[in-house]
Structure 1
Amino acid sequence: MPFVSAARYGKDNVRVYKVHRDEKTGIHTVTEMVVCCLLEGDIETSYTVADNSVVVATDSIKNTIYIKAKEHPVNPPELYASYLGQHLLDTYAHIHVANINISVKRWTRMVVDGKEHPHSFYRDGEETRTVEARVTREGIELKSGIAGLLVLKSTGSAFHGFVRDEFTTLPETWDRILSTEVDSTWSWNTLPSVAAVEEKVSQFDKAWEDARKITMKTFAEEDSPSVQATMYKMASQILDAAPETAKVTYALPNKHYFEIDLSWHKGIKNTGKDAEVYAPQTNPNGLIKVEVSRS
């Protein structure tokens, strides 16, 4: 006999923009985010016997996202996600879990004639700040992160000593271009309530700023023996910087730049130490992942 072993539903890709206007200074702060909210609970009859009496309309979920953004701060996003999820549990007794995913776009304040402009911004790349919240009646699980941070360095990366067999064609290298798109998360120890999130609110922005600085500083300065070794070093430093986190993950895809052999044309040297012109690649690409937890 078939049964519903897991189910969730809700509203995805809800785009929200909020402007905070400081009346004393005239300075505006803007936040643009994309929200996904999926609910779990006693909803299986909506699937098995077409009982819509247990369904909170996804349009109502969308409206709730907007109203909670009006009523509460949206920064840090960990706090807003907690407010939103707790409201849904408080409102609907048959809903037991609210899963909130938030992606915050990067708007950076313009500097004009050496001064920060009070209300003008520019899109500073496609990098996003991410939050995943699982709000239950037992507590709030939060996972923060960075996604879409595209980085590149033109030297200071090597890859050699790897397994070689009859199918290996990749040459070893002691100097190469290293580029990747950073996707990193850090999971917080479970918090018992929204009030506990409010008490810890200052840690979320600091952890995000520290993680971003650690990622870029380590990437830039380390003479990298491999992506694996570099990402482990990054994750370890984030655990040190954010003591209330339990684990850190990285997913780093290779963005390959291949040397072009131009020796066929008048003996032009463009490989090894003479390489200056490269061909950026799209796919296939390597993908390296790691999860580093506290011992």
Structure 2
Amino acid sequence: MSSRLSAARYGKDNVRVYKVHRNPETGEQTVVEMTVCVLLEGEIDESYTKADNSVIVATDSIKNSIYILAKQHPVTPPELFGSILASHFIQKYPHIHATHATVVTHRWARMDIDGKPHPHSFVKNGEETRTVQVDATEGVGIDIKTGIRGLTVLKSTNSQFWGFLRDEYTTLPETWDRVLSTDVAADWQWKRLRDLEDVRANVPKFDSTWTAARDITLKTFAEDNSASVQNTMYKMADEILAYQPLVETVEYSLPNKHYFEIDLSWHKDLKNTGENAEVYAPQTNPNGLIKCTVDRSSPGQVKGKL
């Protein structure tokens, strides 16, 4: 049988990194915890096809490089650290032509004790993470995608769903007031940057845009009298694009975590539906899943399956 290797990449995944920055003047400390993945591409085919290991940068060496680079360079914002990682392997090894670095930053918030921020104690706010994907290709540039994961939100009113297609398969009733809850997964793709110096020149934009995207997501979710998840997520994406001109596309993936009314009329005519609903049954699955990608190429146009 004739065969060929059509694609190959390898590296080190799930590298846990914690870094502390100590300010000797104030005594304040800042901590960053990350999970890192680095994958390499290049002239490595013969390690697969001819058992030639001479082209392999050992995955243990990749892990060590991550630790050393974290010591030698800033790890915030993660877009910068991911670009430092990705650029390092291309510059260090002539036969490596592309690096893919994923940095997941775990959210630690400084404790307030007696109304004051504590200098070295932190609390973990749920499972929310800041995600960064950096793809550096020799002679091409650096592509960066930033995201939010694990941000769970709920509102108890101001969500509607009516006027949808009805046919012989439809049993869902229309509603003008329902519980809306979701686990936010949002990503925004930055315009391609030339090199690491171009990334450094844009460092202030990464943190400010992440904060703005998170704030826009929460504010729109809370304040929009939602006609549908589809319409609300489009409004979120549109505002992020308006905020940051260097962002080319925004993607959302929002599961609709259902909370169903419980009919309790069978028990002494107890009213618990419609305007009298107070007790609900949270559902695990199945759930709705709504996705969209919004870009600048066609104003008002949404790409992707809704």
* TM-score of the two chains, using structure 1 as the length reference: 0.99
Cα distance in 2, alignment partners of residues 294 and 64 from structure 1: 38
Q: What amino acid maps onto 1:200 in structure 2?
A: N
Cα distance in 2, alignment partners of residues 10 and 284 from structure 1: 35
SS in 2 for 1:75: coil
Q: How does 1:80-99 map to 2 (within 5 A)?
A: 80-99=81-100
Cα distance in 2, alignment partners of residues 61 and 163 from structure 1: 53
Taking only aligned residues, the RMSD between alpha carbons, in angstroms, comes to: 0.7
Is structure 2 residue 281 aligned with structure 1 residue 279? yes
SS in 2 for 1:64: helix
Q: How does 1:72-111 map to 2 (within 5 A)?
A: 72-111=73-112
Cα distance in 1, alignment partners of residues 24 and 4 from structure 2: 56
Matching residue within 132, 143, 146 for 1:144:
146
**Residue of structure 2 equivalent to 1:248:** 250
Q: What amino acid maps onto 2:27 in structure 1?
A: G
Q: What amino acid maps onto 1:121 in structure 2?
A: F
Deviation, 1:254, is: 0.8
Is structure 2 residue 224 aligned with structure 1 residue 222? yes
The share of aligned pairs that are identical, in percent, is: 63
After TM superposition, where is structure 1 displaced by more than 6 Å over at least 4 residues in a row?
A: none
Is structure 2 residue 146 aligned with structure 1 residue 124? no
Deviation, 1:124, is: 1.0
Deviation, 1:94, is: 0.9
Q: What amino acid maps onto 1:215 in structure 2?
A: T
Unaligned runs of 5+ in 2: 298-306
Q: How does 1:189-200 map to 2 (within 5 A)?
A: 189-200=191-202
Q: How does 1:130-209 map to 2 (within 5 A)?
A: 130-137=131-138, 138-209=140-211
Cα distance in 1, alignment partners of residues 287 and 56 from structure 2: 42
* TM-score of the two chains, using structure 2 as the length reference: 0.95
Count residues with an aligned counterpart.
295
**Residue of structure 1 equivalent to 2:15:** 14
Cα distance in 1, alignment partners of residues 262 and 41 from structure 2: 53
Cα distance in 2, alignment partners of residues 56 and 165 from structure 1: 59
CA displacement, residues 228-270 of structure 1 (integer Å, 9 cap, x when unaligned): 0000000000001111111000000011111111111111111
Deviation, 1:167, is: 1.1
Q: How does 1:62-77 map to 2 (within 5 A)?
A: 62-77=63-78
CA displacement, residues 190-219 of structure 1 (integer Å, 9 cap, x when unaligned): 111101111110000000000000000000
SS in 2 for 1:165: coil
Deviation, 1:48, is: 1.4
**Residue of structure 1 equivalent to 2:33:** 32
